[in-house]
Amino acid sequence: MYLTGGTGRSDGCLRVKGPCPRYAAGRAKPLTRPPPFAFRSVRLRYPNFVPNPSLLSDEVRIFRPGEPVQVVRAPMSIGAETYGLPGPVPTDAWHVLDHAVSVIHRVTPWATVIAAPTLVAEATYDDYPCREFLRRRDSEKNYVKLGGRSFGNEGLIALSLYSWSGYLISTAYHEAWHQLERILDKKILDEIDGHLIPLSWGSAYMDSMVERRARCFETWAMRFEEGMPGLRLSSQVDAIFDAAATGEIAKEWYKMQQKAARGR
- How does pLDDT run across 124-148, given as a tens digit for each residue? 666 666 666 676 666 677 788 889 9
124's CB contacts (< 8 A; 6+ apart) are 142
Q: Per DSSP, what are the bridge partners of residue 118? A: 85
199 burial (CB, 10 Å; 0-12 / 13-18 / 19+) is exposed
Residue 184 has what DSSP assignment? B
Question: Can you state the angle between helices 236-245 and 209-225, rounded to 10 degrees?
Answer: 70
CB atoms closer than 10 angstroms to residue 12: 7
| pTM higher than 0.85 | no
d(CA 90, CA 111): 25
Find the Cα–Cα–Cα–Cα dihedral 230, 183, 60, 77, rounded to 10°.
-140
Ramachandran bin of 48, using left for φ above 0, alpha for ψ from -120 to 50, beta for the remaining angles = alpha
CB of 181 closer than 8 Å to CB of 213: yes
The tens-digit pLDDT sequence of the chain (264 residues) is 677 654 433 333 333 334 433 333 333 344 344 444 444 444 445 556 666 766 889 999 999 999 999 999 999 999 878 889 998 898 888 889 999 999 999 999 999 999 999 998 887 666 666 666 676 666 677 788 889 999 978 889 999 998 777 899 999 999 999 999 998 989 999 998 888 888 877 777 778 899 999 999 999 999 888 887 665 656 888 889 999 999 999 999 888 888 877 776
Please give the pLDDT value at position 36.
46
